[in-house]
Structure 1
């Protein structure tokens, strides 16, 4: 039976970020946006220009560099500040360029912390995309502190609604301190 299922499904190589994107703590809309980011499929300005559209190439959030996936979700000074606030709130040390690698290789990090970090990171990517779209339309960028607090509150609420199985004491202390 398993071999038949595998044959129908086909054989695919696993990517290091699959558990980051398809974490059960993620909302489907955040998982989809993260998947699109990992495949460079969002309509960033560099893609719009390649499609022949006449748009200003500067990032609508920082107004300093040309907007592409690498800039918007790794190099942008606003993203780095949002990311630092998020990590400070979670008390973790991760570099944005190595998140997928860290996520797949962090064996000494408790499972709950890894899942919560993954969900908050994916939610942050989603919020960055929403901030970019708001800035594009209204020339207004939300304060990073508010965005990060929304991300944390959303993940906490999702976690509580899913009623995840019993927590170890150290995990519950860490989670309640967020």
Structure 2
């Protein structure tokens, strides 16, 4: 048994023991990560949270990773065929993805930078955290659908139209706003109404 189990110093300065304090002492202090607020989002579907976690950890099996592993010999984007595929190209630089992004930002009436995968979250400023979470959920859904489109193109040589992807994003957000009632302020309520979403 570890010696720290009997160490009395762990509770020095604490008026009384609580499970929370004991656990915090055991794990010490965690490390903040930039992607955590994006993933910790109740508007987002759990599968999209996991997907974004994979993206943030660079764990998707994109062509550049497969090439480095020696699994494939050539690296070409399946969606455009004109550039090498990595995370930033696939989700932000590929003409297909840029068209999806343009349609998404026009619909949601917001600017979404086309740079690094997580830059938009760190750079975007919104008066409402809820609005930021809704935008994060929309972008996560779109990225998930782009990944599915990429895989479909790889296996079946068929690419869905960007309009279809944005339509699916709208459907997901509409469903989430209805099944997870959220209290919003007047400004966010007006924005939701303008983009065709509702909390009721």
SS in 2 for 1:85: helix
The residue that corresponds to 1:169 in the other structure is: 186
Matched, 1:40 2:50: no
TM-score (normalised: structure 2): 0.80
Structure 2 counterparts to residues 88-99 of structure 1, below 5 A: 88-97=106-115
Q: Distance in 1 between matches of 2:88 and 2:28?
A: 31
The residue that corresponds to 1:13 in the other structure is: 31
Report the alpha carbon displacement of residue 8 of structure 1 after superposing the two structures with TM: 3.3
Report the alpha carbon displacement of residue 17 of structure 1 after superposing the two structures with TM: 2.1
**Would you say the 8 A contact 2:79–2:153 is kept in 1?**
yes
Q: 2:140 aligns with which of 101, 104, 122?
A: 122
Higher RCO (Cα < 8 Å, 6 or more apart): 1
User: C-alpha deviations, 1:66-101, integer Å up to 9, x for none?
Assistant: 111121122212111111110110000121326634
Larger radius of gyration between Structure 1 and Structure 2: 2
SS in 2 for 1:149: helix
Higher helix share: 1
The residue that corresponds to 1:69 in the other structure is: 87
Structure 2 counterparts to residues 100-111 of structure 1, below 5 A: 100-104=118-122, 106-111=124-129
Q: CA RMSD in A?
A: 1.9
**Would you say the 8 A contact 2:88–2:117 is kept in 1?**
no
5+ unaligned residues in a row in structure 1: which ranges? none
Q: Distance in 2 between matches of 1:93 and 1:128?
A: 19
